[in-house]
Amino acid sequence: MIVFQQIKSDVENQGEFISFLAREVQNAAYKEIADVEEFVKWLDGELSYLIDERAVLKHFPNWPEKKADAMREAAFTYRDLKNLEAEASSFHDDRRVATPMALKRMQALQDKIEQGIHNTEKIRDSASGRYKDLMIPWDWMLDSGIISQLKAASLKLAKEYMNRIMNALKSDPFVNDEELLLQGVRFAFRIHQLAGGFDEGCRKAFQELKTYASKSE
């Protein structure tokens, strides 16, 4: 009962405030998705003053729910992908961690990258059309946008992975050379396929694996 009264109070007293926010949403036309992210953060902060956002806003037919929800969707998707890219780009292989655990961590991070790319590609066609209509940036979803940054982060991860394997092969006499080499080649091939090739760092690390393998035969 108390919540209902608070909702009723917001509906009766916050009309001007909500109309102001509605105009801000309707007029929003940013070119950069990072600006949308900042706008959504501000908007959510303003709406947090309402006792129950959805319950209050449904009483205002002028509230641009479709655009507000789409802006949130775009901002949150972009934020999650940027956080993932930052995590992968800043990844540093801690040599104090045992090799099997270190490799598992890198594999898990790569799994998240591939899932993020897959999800973006899956929704891109339908989402980009909606975003265009609502004046929300959408080009960050293209292969040349956040996806290319994620692929670059994958290449860094591949180099770290192969370097860890080489370090284990050279320093641990008890490791299974053949199994570890195969593991490194598989991971490298996986990222080669994703990124469409290797960068210089990966080529060098992969060549080291090949050289070691040929000497072991």
Closest CA to 148 of 81, 202, 103, 72: 81
Q: What mean pLDDT is reported for the chain?
A: 93
Q: How many CB atoms lie within 10 A of CB 212?
A: 17
**What's the pLDDT score for residue 96?**
92
Per-residue model confidence as pLDDT tens digits over 83-113: 999 999 999 999 999 999 999 999 999 999 9
pTM: 0.86
pLDDT-derived band at 6, boundaries 50, 70, 90: confident
The crossing angle, in degrees rounded to 10, of helices 15-27 and 33-47 is: 170
Sequence ranges of the domains in the chain: 2-63, 72-216
Residue where the block lists tokens 């990844």: 91
Per-residue model confidence as pLDDT tens digits over 111-165: 999 999 999 999 999 999 999 999 999 999 999 999 999 999 999 999 999 999 9
Residue where the block lists tokens 């099997």: 100
**What's the pLDDT score for residue 2?**
65
Per-residue model confidence as pLDDT tens digits over 17-67: 999 999 999 999 999 999 999 999 999 999 999 999 999 999 999 999 999
In contact, 6 and 51? CB cutoff 8 Å = yes
